[in-house]
Structure 1
Amino acid sequence: MAPRLLSPGIYCPIPSFFLPETEDLDLPSFEKHVLRVAQAGVGPLLAGSNGEAIHLAHDERTTLVRTARRVLDGNGLADVPLIVGTGAGSTRETVQLCRAAADAGADYAIVITPGYFAGAIAQDREALKAFYREVAKKSPVPILLYNYPGASGGIDLDSELITELASEDTNIVGVKLTCGNVGKLTRICTTVSDQSYTSKYPRRTATQEFLVLGGYTDFVLPSIYARGHGAITGLANVAPHSIKKLYDLSVESLANPSVLPEAQRLQGIIARGDFTLANSGVSGTKAVLQRLYGYGGCPRRPLPPISSEAAEAVWHHPHIKELVALERQISGQ
């Protein structure tokens, strides 16, 4: 069966929630949150960095995929695709995780560059390309490249390498740029967002275009004008309606400049909130979710929980207060 189409838009790396005493998966909280985000029009991404994938066992990853698919299908959201993180230290394990995710119901895999031996491969372009080529060849679902130098030993895929991989393998369908490099996004989009490129280099699923997605929401509006396709952002856990509205207005403003001032206003609020929440890490995001929805909890050890003083500071930060007010206004909640 062909995968559900991955469309331009906003996607959210869902946290993995844990029970306080045992650190077992807290599936009821996970189910609530997946549904909350998806009903806001934001696509869920499971077992990513924000989902503490590095702390999950293989069977826990597949449990999350099966659970999310069941929740979506049971609530009228069967057409929503699931992206699942399948990054691992070796090519072999990455492929195994891609296959397991596909068997559990994933539509797409997002694959981070292995960084443990960064000293040996960071400057070896052929080794980097060989890794992604082999994973793409052997994965039963299409993959997205995940460029996150901070979690990859500093390895930063450049725009030429990314566009070469996009052109050479039809099972690579996008890239997430958590490097935050707007210039890189612009260069990639100059190549892959041209209609002639899509015709010349079709994906394995003919209707699927190659998506260039930012890793933050502080440049959604500029990225749309560079012909980008949206973002995968942890901030969407806290403000999914607001970020979806920003994306929609940004796209609309291309044909209707009268909505540009409102898109700029939302972009400012969201950019400030993104910076503040990102600096608080996974623990800070969970603390804000705890205040908003009554679930969130702590990360898995050894990642420490945020201190109560720091959590209070994040919650009462003017940028977070402004963002939460905006989200409540747009969502009507």
Structure 2
Amino acid sequence: MWFKQVTPFRVFELPEAERLKTAIAENWFCSPTGLDWFSEGFCSPVPFGNPIIFEAQKTMLISLMREEKVLPSAAIKHKLDEQVVKIQTAEGRNVGRREKHELREAIIDDLLPKALIKSSRTYGLFAGEWLFVDTANRRKAENMLTKLREALGGLSAQHPVTRQSPASLMTNWLLQGEAQGRFVLDSDVTLVGVGDVAPKVKISRKDLTAEDVVQHAKNGMKVTELGLVWNDRVAFILTQDLTLKRIQWLDVVQEEAEGSCDDAESMAYATQLLMEAALSAILGELVDLLGGWQE
């Protein structure tokens, strides 16, 4: 599967495959029951063979599943209003705030076992010094890291911190009208100003070398998101947190994956290797351009 968003973590010691399999198997997903609001656990990352992890050479794909029960607030309010009216009619008294709260809790307990279920998955890819999580949502990415640490009994990893800030580098690229290395400017940028109520400008599908675009940076605004294309293979939005958003795997990459595949498993294998190679190269080049790691 091709990741569309990526939050990267720098991993200082990659877990061994067998240890990771054992840890994940011991924290396997089970659906929420009874009065549980949600349940979370690991599940097979691919739709064939039901493996605990999916390995492609030295890369390891994992999946974290979450199911949560959905109770519409309108439905709870409707039942609560019905019960309040019944009490007021039968007993000729008002229902106080505390009693309403108790009634509401009892209604929720009654409805939870019959509630609808919303399911979601978050994928992670271990590759070399990286854990790539397929989300741009920092909370979800950190939740994946937390669950892995709980399962493994610890995992030495952190958000990448570089000597130069990504915002500073992206702002310089916009001012210069070109990026460095194998990166070229695409057509999207977000800039933020200073102050208690900081102004924000978001520009899409426009030549980023145009004077009216660059003028925002000249006026002191900093770039927080920048559209880039890497090596004519991957287009994405880079954020000030080194997160990659709206990733587009260009035709040349997808054709390479499809060229030697004849079933779902071989396609997943090829996709995983190509994706890991590109993401590792992109992040590696960015770290170099940002002056290396801040130790």
The bucket for the TM-score relative to the shorter chain is under 0.3
Normalised by the size of structure 1, how large is the TM-score?
A: 0.23
Higher helix share: 1
Normalised by the size of structure 2, how large is the TM-score?
A: 0.25
Higher strand share: 2
Structure with the larger RCO, 1 or 2 (CA within 8 Å, 6+ apart): 2
Larger radius of gyration: 2
